[in-house]
């Protein structure tokens, strides 16, 4: 200490002040870095989304009555566990931006916070990115997610229909992992005569399936009705989804309704999609596409559409995958039609605006649902067709 003072004393005053200022600036920089590093500890995605502002659990609690909270997960996840005042708006919802503007104007002093499943869930960050790109102000990611919220504010959370949410009902990771099987173990378990193998993916995701006999394709909504009815409590249930995430939430229903013999495929179909020995293509029983002639005539005479729009719609109808779903690669679609991607998407948005279709974009993939009366792959007039028609009319506001 004495030596440090002696050295400082022999320096010219200007240099001493400069050195002190530099040392102070360095100390402040290190303190700022330490603060940021500390704030990001346990939140690994903050490093990858530096442009996305975040809000903490304590800050959301402090402003709970004023903050608009958006749950951008699926209906299933929302039904299992949610923040009580949260508005459900799935990130893959058609016209996500338009629906967001109905929740709050783009310019507003009211904070809007987006959440999903916790520290490693990227969807909430991506939702904020979308909001920022659309010009929304005061938008934040609440990356503590639903489980941090249940721990901090159980009285402001719902878990399996109960409020306050009981932390003891949260299924710990170890209890989930013991239910996860490798593909080989899953395929072996499927050989049991008492086993029921269920594909819970949405229809448009079913390009390929595991190379296992007797798979039943049952989407989540009808599946939950069957689970609640407890018709399979004496069976061994084997579930798989697209990437191994939806089954995590299905487990809450299985446990709540007394199912004890069940398992999940590790990583879903995505984990085996590149292995030709473990997958096979879905063979459709009906490859014909049925269109209502009256709808086609209406479309042909619609003055709101031009030839480019009709060309795009014809392309989409030729690519109906299942029921009224179309899934296409954006770049590939433009090349096939010989039109720029921007022009292609302008036509898709116009078709959505005039209620011929709904659409959403996930990364580089376009997912479209056309009016079932305009294009349908399957049997017209059955319950599935009627349900999809009712669902489409409700979505477009008819």
The DSSP string of 234-290 is TSEEEEE-SSSSHHHHHHHHHHHTT--SEEEETTTGGGTTT-TTTEEE---S---EE
Query: pLDDT at position 39, please?
Result: 59
Read off the tokens for 118: 């916790």
Model confidence at 245: pLDDT above 60 = yes
30 — pLDDT class (breaks 50, 70, 90): very low
Q: What is the pLDDT of residues 184-222, one digit of tens each?
A: 999 999 999 999 999 998 776 777 899 999 899 887 777
- How deeply is 147 buried, as exposed, middle or buried, from its count of CB atoms within 10 A (0-12, 13-18, 19+)? middle
CATH architecture label of 57-169:
3-Layer(aba) Sandwich (3.40)
Judge if 179-281 and 289-396 fold alike in CATH terms.
no
Model confidence at 12: pLDDT above 80 = no
Domains of the chain, by residue range, sit at 2-41, 57-169, 179-281, 289-396
**Per CATH, which fold does 289-396 belong to?**
Arc Repressor Mutant, subunit A (1.10.10)
The DSSP string of 47-63 is GT-TTS-B--HHHHHHT
pTM for this predicted structure: 0.62
Secondary structure (3-state) at 376: strand
Read off the tokens for 247: 């089954």
Q: How far apart are CA 95 and CA 345, in angstroms?
A: 13
Q: What is the pLDDT of residues 256-298, one digit of tens each?
A: 999 999 999 999 999 999 999 999 987 555 456 777 777 777 8
| CATH 3.40.250.10 is held by the domain 179-281 | yes
Decide the pairing of beta strands 236-240 and 365-370.
Answer: unpaired
Tell whether the torsion through CA atoms of 377, 381, 382 and 383 is positive or negative.
positive
CB 263 within 8 A of CB 238: yes
Q: Count of CB atoms within 10 A of residue 111's CB?
A: 20
CB 235 within 8 A of CB 195: yes
Nearest to 326 by CA among 351, 305, 307: 351
Q: What is the CA radius of gyration of the chain?
A: 27
């Amino acid at each position: 200490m004495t030596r440090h003072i002696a050295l400082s004393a022999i320096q010219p005053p200007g240099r001493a002040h400069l050195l002190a200022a530099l040392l102070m600036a360095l100390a402040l920089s290190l303190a700022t870095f330490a603060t940021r590093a500390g704030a990001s500890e346990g939140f690994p995605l903050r490093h990858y989304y530096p442009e996305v502002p975040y809000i903490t659990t304590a800050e959301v609690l402090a402003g709970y009555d004023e903050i608009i909270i958006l749950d951008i997960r699926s209906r299933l996840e929302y039904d299992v566990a949610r923040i009580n005042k949260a508005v459900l708006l799935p990130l893959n919802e058609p016209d996500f931006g338009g629906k967001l503007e109905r929740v709050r104007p783009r310019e507003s002093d009211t904070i809007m916070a987006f959440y999903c499943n916790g520290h490693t869930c990227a969807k909430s960050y991506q939702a904020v990115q979308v909001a920022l790109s659309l010009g929304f102000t005061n938008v934040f990611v609440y990356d503590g997610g639903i489980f941090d919220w249940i721990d901090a504010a159980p009285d402001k959370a719902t878990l399996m229909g109960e409020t306050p949410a009981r932390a003891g009902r949260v299924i710990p990771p170890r209890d989930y992992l013991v239910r996860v099987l490798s593909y080989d173990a899953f395929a072996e378990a499927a050989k049991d005569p008492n086993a029921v193998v269920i594909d819970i993916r949405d229809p448009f995701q079913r390009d390929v399936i595991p190379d296992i006999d007797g798979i039943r394709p049952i989407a989540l909504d009808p599946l939950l009705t069957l689970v609640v009815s407890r018709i399979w409590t004496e069976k061994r249930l084997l579930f798989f989804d697209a990437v191994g995430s939806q089954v995590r939430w299905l487990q809450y229903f299985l446990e709540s309704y007394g199912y004890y013999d069940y398992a999940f495929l590790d990583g879903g179909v995505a984990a085996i999609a590149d292995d030709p020995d473990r997958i096979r293509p879905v063979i459709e029983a009906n490859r014909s596409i049925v269109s209502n002639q009256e709808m086609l005539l209406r479309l042909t005479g619609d003055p709101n559409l031009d030839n480019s729009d009709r060309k795009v719609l014809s392309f989409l109808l030729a690519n109906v995958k299942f029921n009224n779903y179309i899934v296409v690669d954006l770049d590939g679609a433009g090349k096939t039609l010989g039109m720029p991607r921007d022009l292609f998407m302008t036509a898709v948005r116009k078709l959505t605006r005039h209620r011929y279709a709904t659409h959403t974009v996930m990364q580089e993939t376009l997912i479209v649902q056309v009016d079932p009366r305009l294009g349908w792959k399957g049997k017209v007039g059955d319950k599935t067709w009627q349900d999809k028609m009712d669902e489409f009319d409700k979505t477009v506001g008819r």
